Structure 1
Amino acid sequence: MTENPTENKPNKRKRPCLIAIGVVLSLIFIIFIICLVLALTVFKPKQPRTSLVSATVDGVTPRVSFPAIKISLNITVDLVILIENPNHASFKHGTGKSLLLYKGVQVGDVDLYPGEIPARGNGTMQAKLTMQADRLTSNMNNLVSDALSGEFVVEISSRIPGRINFLGFIKKHVVAVSDCELTVGVPSFKVKNQVCKNKTKF
């Protein structure tokens, strides 16, 4: 009994198709593994870090008003904030906010301009925080008393929202936070001590 050659043709045609499907599935699996490894290593979001590089007190103007004796201090704090981006992708931040507090009471604020920090790069932001006399009404006696003792302490709290962009379509929203406590000497009005805590909220 002889074998019919026509019966082997479908099998011969199926074999290349199965090989091609196997190759495609293998490539898809390899690409998946590569993407997974990259997602867990190179593209894993890292925390952008903010830090207060310098803070200088400027524009100190004591003012005494009559007939009721009232003492007030106009104080401006010049800030330089450093933003470090350790990611392999850019960090685009929106409008941030810095608050000036004295004894837990907000006495000034300023907007921080939006911008973009390149991958594995850094940038600085400058801002001026002015202590607003009308917000100090309840604490003015404490401020004057602290100033007469030789120093006073203010807090600066900064929030910078933004997102990390991977390959233009993978986006991770974060908020960089910096809280600093400054001890200002009197009468030099120089920053004697600076303690900061930095963190990032995903």
Structure 2
Amino acid sequence: MAKTNKTFRPGCLQICCASTVIFLIIVAAVVAVLWFTVFKTKNPDIVLENIRIKFLGEQGIMAVDMVVAIKNPNYGSFKYDNTTSFLHYRGNVIAEFPIQQKLVPARGTLNFSTTGNIMVEKLLTDPNFWNDLFSGSLNFTSKATFDGKICVVKIIKFHGMAFSTCDIFYLHPSRIIKSMCTTKIKL
């Protein structure tokens, strides 16, 4: 029986290495294209769907109930920690709204409700309050920071923050409440 020599030729090793490098370059290019197109982060939409004001006259308190919808257009879910939204009138904080920890599903919508008490004495002692009320419109701003984790395809996880600002307009005497929100994501 003849003895065969099984040594690798240098050309075979070069072809194997070149094929591996080309394969890795193609995989990296596909991942980069997906990351900058399909998985590119988009800002979520926050909508104040229902705002109800209850006057608790005996205690001198105005309770505000809000139903909030967060629409996530991204392919990654966002789980945020407990946070607080602050309601401002002309730069002064007049109410706080606790927001419980939740998961906003990928390409889905999360609805939640929160309640806060307006500090009526702060509102009434503002020198602009009565002029604004008699002019027919009170303008408020709500700000919240959502700190949490983003999970893409249940594999890639990283830290993210969402900053939300909502302008709220209370039209008096019709008692119509309108809002417009903007949200920015920071990775």
Which TM bucket (shorter chain)? 0.7 to 0.9
Q: How does 1:18-33 map to 2 (within 5 A)?
A: 19=12, 22-23=15-16, 26-27=19-20, 29-33=22-26
Say which of 46, 49, 59 aligns to 2:44.
49
Counterpart for residue 128 of structure 2: 142
Aligned equivalent of 2:166: 180
Name the aligned partner's letter for residue 52 of structure 2: V
2:179 paired with 1:194: yes
- Any idea what the Cα deviations from partners look like across 1:41-84, whole Å, max 9, x if unmatched? 25744134131232423103457xxxxxxxx9633333222223
CA-CA distance at 1:150 after TM superposition: 2.9
- Secondary structure (helix, strand or coil) at the match of 2:114 reads strand
Question: Among residues 33, 38, 50, which one is paired with 2:31 in the alignment?
Answer: 38
C-alpha distance in 2 between matches for 1:121 and 1:158 = 20
Q: Percent identity?
A: 23
Runs of 4 or more above 6 Å deviation:
none
| CA distance in structure 1 between the partners assigned to 2:32 and 2:150 by the alignment | 13
Structure 1 partner of 2:82: 95
Aligned equivalents of 1:59 and 1:113: distance in 2? 22
Distance of 2:106 and 2:12 partners within structure 1: 42
Ranges in structure 2 where 5+ consecutive residues have no aligned partner = none
Give the Cα–Cα distance (whole angstroms) in 1 for the partners of residues 179 and 81 of structure 2.
Answer: 26
Q: 2:7 aligns with which of 5, 10, 13?
A: 13
How many residue pairs were aligned?
Answer: 184
- With normalisation by structure 1, the TM-score equals 0.71
Residue 156 (structure 1) shift: 1.3
- Of the three residues 54, 65, 80, the one matched with 1:78 is 65
Residues 120 and 197 of structure 1: CA distance in aligned 2, closer, same or farther (over 3 Å): closer
Q: Does 1:157 align with 2:170?
A: no
Which has the higher Rg, Structure 1 or Structure 2?
1
1:85/1:151 CA distance change after superposition, 3 Å: closer
Aligned residue for 2:8, secondary structure, equals: helix
Amino acid at match of 2:31: L
Residue pair 1:50, 1:81 contacting (<8 A) in 2 also = no
Q: Distance in 2 between matches of 1:142 and 1:74?
A: 20
Q: Which amino acid aligns with 2:46?
A: S
Aligned-partner Cα distance in 2 for 1:85–1:31 = 32
- Alpha-carbon RMSD: 3.2
Residue 91 of structure 2 aligns with an amino acid whose one-letter code is G
Question: 1:34 Cα deviation (Å)?
Answer: 1.7
Out of 103, 109, 112, the residue aligned to residue 122 of structure 1 is 109
CA contact (8 A) 1:163 1:171 kept: yes
What is the TM-score normalised by the length of structure 2? 0.76
Q: 1:201 to 1:135 in 2, by over 3 A?
A: farther
Structure 2 CA distance, aligned partners of 1:106 and 1:55? 21
